[in-house]
Amino acid sequence: MGSRGPRLLRRTTNHVLDALLKAAEGAWQGHPKELSALRDIIVALEASAQFDDFYRRSYRELLDVVEQEKMEQRRTNAFGRLMVHHLGPLFESGTLDRAFLPNIFSFFHLVLGDDAGFYGEQCLRLVADLKAELGEDFTWDAYYDTLSAKLILWHTLTRIAGSFKRWDLRKDWFMKLMQYTPTTVSLGSNAFVTREVDHDEPHVFGNHQFCAFFQALFSPLTEMKMADEAAFKKEFGTDPHHLIGPFLVHLATCEI
């Protein structure tokens, strides 16, 4: 590990100490001895070598956090790409706004629970294996076309269909979820920052968007090739229409 990162942490901490001194100068007017003592302490802290290990350790911890975040993004990216690649035409045509993607991913996680992370890990490994095998010939379409990816997609879709047993209530809940725009972003258990929200041009998610979204999302099950249908029957013991028939009926009658 180089020294640039720890030096940056030291400079950042020194800025905080300088701010503390300025605040004390304003608050302790008329107390020159106390202020002088505090100034000496801060100067010593800013130059102290005793904090070197602390800065190095803190920087390593920050690097670990960054790597974990990158891993989570890659995992979400692989699973997320798999789940939404059939929605591409809707985004391109403007039927759906890409601003809905965070809420869509939240929906997948709410339905799957801990399995979302499990599927994410599987997708990440699958992409890594394909890239190692295909090299520069790797494409995301090659990933989507693997049986392993299709099985993850099918299991997720059947879980989603199962969550819509009470169609009207679930539909209403889903549309409210898509319209939700958080006004704060959590930085910890008790720390939040305000998120800027554009209220001038709200993104619309009504019945038209709902029907278009789910019909596109479930198109891998409603427009299956014979080979895929055979693989689906082998995995689930029956075809999609027998497994999630009521949901597909609602979907077929959903008016765009």
* Cα 230–chain centre separation: 33
User: How far is Cα 90 from Cα 111, in angstroms, rounded to an integer?
Assistant: 22
Q: Report the pLDDT value the prediction gives residue 197, as an integer from 0 to 100.
A: 47
CB burial readout 118-128, b (16+ within 10 A) else e: ebbebbbebbe
Instruction: Classify 114 as helix, strand or coil.
Output: coil
Q: Report the pLDDT value the prediction gives residue 184, as an integer from 0 to 100.
A: 41
Contact 78, 124 (CB under 8 A): yes
Q: Report the pLDDT value the prediction gives residue 192, as an integer from 0 to 100.
A: 40
Q: Report the pLDDT value the prediction gives residue 70, as an integer from 0 to 100.
A: 56
Write the CB contacts of 101 (distance below 8 Å, at least 6 apart in sequence): 80, 84
Q: Which two tokens stand for residue 129?
A: 């294996």
194, containing H or E segment: strand 192-194
Q: Report the pLDDT value the prediction gives residue 24, as an integer from 0 to 100.
A: 65
| pTM score | 0.66
Q: Which two tokens stand for residue 143?
A: 């990933």
Low pLDDT (below 70) residues in the chain: 1-3, 5-6, 8-9, 15-17, 19-28, 30-31, 33, 45, 48, 50-51, 55, 64-76, 182-203, 256
Q: Identify residue 34 by its one-letter amino acid code.
A: E
Q: Report the pLDDT value the prediction gives residue 185, as an integer from 0 to 100.
A: 40
Q: Which two tokens stand for residue 25?
A: 């100068």
* Cα→Cα distances 161→40, 143, 155, Å: 67, 24, 10
Instruction: Classify 255 as helix, strand or coil.
Output: coil
User: How far is Cα 60 from Cα 66, in angstroms, rounded to an integer?
Assistant: 10
Contact 199, 210 (CB under 8 A): no
